[in-house]
């Protein structure tokens, strides 16, 4: 009988980290770390944790994810999202660990007309994207051979603030919602991403991967599906109209990629697994949140 694999989960209390904890297979021996125990702004805490545990696998879900705040906090974002993963890669070489690092669709500029593949050249538009790209490059330049960099997009799930919960709250409070309709991508349910990480770990095909739910939509289409799905499950919402608007009608500090759909052929080839459609994933989330629709 094989011994459990020692796995250190960094950023364990975040949106994705908590779902990774819920999804972990039985043959892993899990240890978790989060602020203030481990802090990329204090590199000594990171080194101490890895050297003490000597994990076989490190999953890094920690990041500075406040996209707009990164515009005024780029130095801190660079240390957390850029230098932090580089430090993890160096320590993973030392402890002979496999590193799994979560990156973002924001490393791309959004000027493509077809889904981005892993080998497409990054060109981030904002400070957050630049910091995430710096983290990727730090891992690639570290000399670590056994790593997975997994880019994802539009993440939501049951353990934290996210677009779905924001739309549900505003739809209960307001008669009109104004939602951007000229940014296209794919939502990703944390359940599906967590499962994808463990599926990749069962392979030895290291490298950069893309994973999001299948299909594409705009933020406006996503919001409309959220409201429709909630109403189908008996929720009383005040909203009467979900108005599509352009990005320039809702200015924010950070520039978003107008198109950030990710191609997932490499993931499917490596794991042999299909990817759930974003509408199927959203229905699963809403079922868990409110119960199944009436009559089903």
Phi, psi of 210 (to 5 degrees): -110, 135
Neighbouring residues of 248: CB distance < 8 A, sequence distance ≥ 6: none
Cβ 151 vs Cβ 185: under 8 Å: no
pLDDT in the model for residue 35: 87
pLDDT in the model for residue 2: 57
Which CATH entry fits the domain spanning 5-161+187-214+260-276: 3.30.420.40, 3.40.640.10, 2.60.130.10, 3.40.50.720? 3.40.50.720
pLDDT in the model for residue 130: 98
Q: Which of 106, 128, 156, 285 is catalytic?
A: 128
pLDDT in the model for residue 160: 87
DSSP E strand boundaries for the chain: 5-10, 28-33, 57-60, 98-104, 147-152, 155-156, 176-180, 184-185, 188-189, 207-210, 217-218, 241-245
Q: How do the domains of the chain map onto residue ranges?
A: 5-161+187-214+260-276
Cβ 71 vs Cβ 115: under 8 Å: no
Partners of 9 in the β-ladder: 32, 59
Burial 201-211 (b: 16+ CB within 10 A, else e): beeeebebbbb
Cβ 120 vs Cβ 112: under 8 Å: yes
pLDDT in the model for residue 296: 56
Neighbouring residues of 155: CB distance < 8 A, sequence distance ≥ 6: 15, 16, 162, 187, 188, 190, 193
pLDDT in the model for residue 295: 54
128 included as an active-site residue: yes
Instruction: Count Cβ atoms below 10 Å from residue 269 Cβ, excluding itself.
Output: 11
* Parts of the chain with a pLDDT under 50: 1
Residue 80 to residue 37: CA distance in whole angstroms? 15
């Amino acid at each position: 009988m094989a011994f459990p694999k020692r796995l250190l989960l960094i950023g364990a209390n975040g949106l994705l980290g908590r779902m990774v904890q819920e999804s972990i297979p039985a043959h892993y021996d899990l240890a978790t770390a989060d602020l203030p125990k481990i802090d990329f702004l204090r590199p000594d805490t990171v080194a101490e944790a890895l050297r003490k545990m000597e994990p076989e696998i490190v999953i890094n879900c920690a990041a500075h994810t406040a996209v707009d705040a990164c515009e005024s906090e780029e130095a801190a974002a660079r240390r957390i999202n850029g230098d932090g993963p580089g430090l993890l890669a160096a320590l993973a070489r030392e402890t002979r660990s496999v590193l799994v690092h979560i990156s973002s669709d924001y490393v791309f500029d959004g000027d493509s007309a077809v889904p981005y593949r892993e080998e497409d050249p990054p060109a981030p538009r904002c400070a957050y994207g630049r910091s995430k790209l710096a983290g990727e490059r730090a891992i690639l330049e570290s000399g670590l051979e056994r790593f997975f960099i997994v880019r994802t997009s539009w993440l939501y799930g049951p353990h934290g603030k996210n677009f779905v919960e924001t739309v549900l709250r505003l739809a209960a409070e307001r008669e009109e919602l104004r939602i951007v309709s000229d940014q296209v991508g794919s939502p990703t349910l944390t359940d599906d991403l967590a499962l994808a990480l463990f599926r990749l770990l069962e392979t030895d095909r290291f490298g950069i991967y893309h994973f999001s739910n299948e299909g594409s939509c705009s933020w406006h289409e996503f919001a409309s599906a959220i409201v429709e799905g909630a109403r189908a499950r008996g929720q009383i919402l005040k909203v009467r109209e979900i108005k599509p608007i352009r990005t320039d009608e809702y200015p924010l500090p950070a520039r978003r990629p107008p198109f950030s759909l990710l191609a997932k052929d490499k993931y499917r080839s490596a794991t042999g697994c299909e990817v759930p459609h974003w509408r199927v994933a959203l229905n699963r989330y809403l079922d868990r949140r409110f119960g199944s629709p009436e009559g089903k």
